[in-house]
Amino acid sequence: MEKKNLQEMLDRIRAELSIFYEIGNAMRSTLKLEEILFIILTGVTSHEGLGFNRAMLFLINEEEKILEGKMGIGPHSGEDAGRIWTKIETEKMSLEDLIARYRHYKKGGSELDKIVRGIRIPLREDGGVLALSVLEGMGFEVTTEEARQKLAHDPVLQILKTEYFVTVPLKAKDKVVAVILADNIFTKKPITKDDIRTLTMFANHAGLAIENSRLYEQTVYAANTDSLTRLWNHGYFQYLLTEELKKAYENKTPLSLIMFDIDNFKNYNDALGHQMGDQLLRDIARILKTTCDGQGDVARYGGEEFAVILPNIANGKAFDIAENLRKAIESFQFKGQDVQPTKNLTISAGLATYPEDALDKEKLIYLADMALYEAKRTGKNRVCAYRSR
């Protein structure tokens, strides 16, 4: 009997080492945060991994002092679970096969994932069990009815419809960077001490992978942003436009490009000095980014010129967006704007659209610029679309 128990323990250790080795290799293959999170949660839920029904990951936002739902992997319903698990079994999908499905996952995302991404949890003692996992730096095991009843009013647990679960903090250099919640909501399989031990061991590796990924993305962000305005810089604008045009071509969708220029910027700069000019550029950038939020990517093209890339947006709607941006600038009370010839600070804009006006990046930029020059020539503080010239 003792020999049998020893063999079972050795088999379990071998299985755990195999899982950690395979997931570790996958995590070393990328530094992109979304891919890292997908690999981690796939490892927690895969039948060849830790085997939980669902896994949800929440990242710490230190600036806002909240936990943000970042990703959820697992079925949304019992019917969904049966369909997914039958497919995995029929196709004999390995952990490696499941990790390789990231591109497919990225296109749609599950219902669970959408729910998780909408969750924001304040990092306070009354923020619920997930917040406490961060604040106390330890996991919680809710595997009995008594423990579940104590947390019956936790709003996040109600949203996730979870009953018996485990939370585990993910640490990097003794600092909690994220929390995972895992459960067996559909199979009702009991969560054992071995399950929790394995998940905790795995969390230590996952925390370091997340921290390395975030440091990498911060470095990439710093390299691709304009130091003054914190918008995308010219080089990254060129890269983004190239990539978005590829997607527009593949998906047969429109893409519009708006070029903006501050009217009489030299006059403002000469009258009030470069420091005031710099502050004006920062203010304009903030207004453009806020007004464009969720619709497109804003970049500083150079000097006092800005660009907005609008994927999946045709000429008519793009014109309305450009007008909204122009009006937002015109109505804002900028410091020192009385020095301008019109006693107001304004912008002019030019617009061109793929594929109606141009089929390649260089021509699209050129035509948007030509439309901008037309707006300048015909009185400034206006939007001109290339097709309307």
Same domain for 264 and 360, yes or no, is: yes
Q: What is the mean pLDDT of residues 360-367?
A: 95
Q: How confident is the model at residue 258 (pLDDT cuts 50, 70, 90)?
A: very high
Same domain for 193 and 155, yes or no, is: yes
Q: How confident is the model at residue 389 (pLDDT cuts 50, 70, 90)?
A: very low
What total of structural domains would you count in the chain? Answer: 2
Q: Is the pLDDT confidence value at 294 over 80?
A: no
Q: What is the mean pLDDT of residues 305-310?
A: 95
Q: Is the pLDDT confidence value at 319 over 70?
A: yes
Same domain for 156 and 198, yes or no, is: yes
Q: Is the pLDDT confidence value at 7 over 70?
A: no
Closest CA to 259 of 128, 112, 121, 364: 364
Q: Is the pLDDT confidence value at 261 over 90?
A: yes
Which residue, 161, 196, 224, sits at the end of a domain? 224
Q: Is the pLDDT confidence value at 118 over 90?
A: yes
Please write the tens of the pLDDT for every residue from 169-220. Answer: 999 888 999 999 999 999 999 998 988 888 888 887 888 888 888 888 888 8
Same domain for 37 and 161, yes or no, is: yes
Same domain for 239 and 215, yes or no, is: no
Which residue, 224, 246, 279, sits at the end of a domain? 224
End-to-end CA distance of the chain: 88
Look at residue 175 and tell me if it is in a domain.
yes
Active-site residue (options: 96, 163, 304, 374):
304
Please write the tens of the pLDDT for every residue from 62-80. Answer: 989 999 999 999 888 878 7
Same domain for 248 and 211, yes or no, is: no
The position carrying tokens 């230190």 is: 62
Q: What is the pLDDT of residue 109?
A: 65
Give yes or no: 304 in active site.
yes
Q: What is the pLDDT of residue 131?
A: 95
Q: Is the pLDDT confidence value at 9 over 70?
A: no
Q: What is the pLDDT of residue 69?
A: 95
Q: What is the pLDDT of residue 20?
A: 58
Q: Is the pLDDT confidence value at 368 over 60?
A: yes
Same domain for 271 and 210, yes or no, is: no
Q: What is the mean pLDDT of residues 245-252?
A: 93
Q: How confident is the model at residue 350 (pLDDT cuts 50, 70, 90)?
A: very high
The pLDDT mean for the chain works out to 87
Look at residue 57 and tell me if it is in a domain.
yes
Look at residue 274 and tell me if it is in a domain.
yes
Same domain for 157 and 186, yes or no, is: yes
Q: What is the widest separation between alpha-carbon atoms in the chain?
A: 94
Same domain for 61 and 175, yes or no, is: yes
Same domain for 65 and 194, yes or no, is: yes
**Helices (H) then strands (E): counts for the chain:** 15, 11
Please write the tens of the pLDDT for every residue from 81-107. Answer: 777 777 777 777 766 777 677 655 555
- What is the phi/psi pair of residue 2, to 5°? -65, -40
Whole-number CA gyration radius for the chain: 26
Structural domain for 159, as ranges = 2-224
Q: What is the mean pLDDT of residues 299-316?
A: 94
- Supply 115's token pair: 């729910």
Q: How many CB atoms neighbour CB 366 within 10 A?
A: 15
- Supply 140's token pair: 């919680």
Look at residue 229 and tell me if it is in a domain.
no
Please write the tens of the pLDDT for every residue from 40-54. Answer: 888 888 876 688 999
Label residue 230 exposed, middle or buried (CB < 10 Å: 0-12, 13-18, 19+).
middle
Same domain for 249 and 210, yes or no, is: no
Q: What is the pLDDT of residue 27?
A: 64
Answering whether pTM is above 0.75, one says no
Q: What is the pLDDT of residue 48?
A: 65
Closest CA to 27 of 16, 19, 39: 39
Which residue, 169, 194, 224, sits at the end of a domain? 224
Q: Is the pLDDT confidence value at 385 over 80?
A: yes
Q: Cα 370–285–369 angle (5° rounding)?
A: 5
Please write the tens of the pLDDT for every residue from 127-158. Answer: 999 999 999 999 999 998 888 888 888 999 99
Q: What is the pLDDT of residue 203?
A: 86
Look at residue 117 and tell me if it is in a domain.
yes
Q: Is the pLDDT confidence value at 124 over 90?
A: yes
Same domain for 64 and 18, yes or no, is: yes
- Supply 384's token pair: 């001109």
322 vs 308: CA distance, rounded Å: 9
User: 3-class SS at 17?
Assistant: helix
Q: Is the pLDDT confidence value at 328 over 50?
A: yes
Q: Is the pLDDT confidence value at 275 over 50?
A: yes
CATH, residue 220: 3.30.450.40
Distances (CA, A) of 214 to 49, 61, 122, 138, 269: 24, 12, 21, 22, 38
- Supply 8's token pair: 């079972």
Look at residue 140 and tell me if it is in a domain.
yes
CATH, residue 275: 3.30.70.270
Q: What is the pLDDT of residue 388?
A: 47
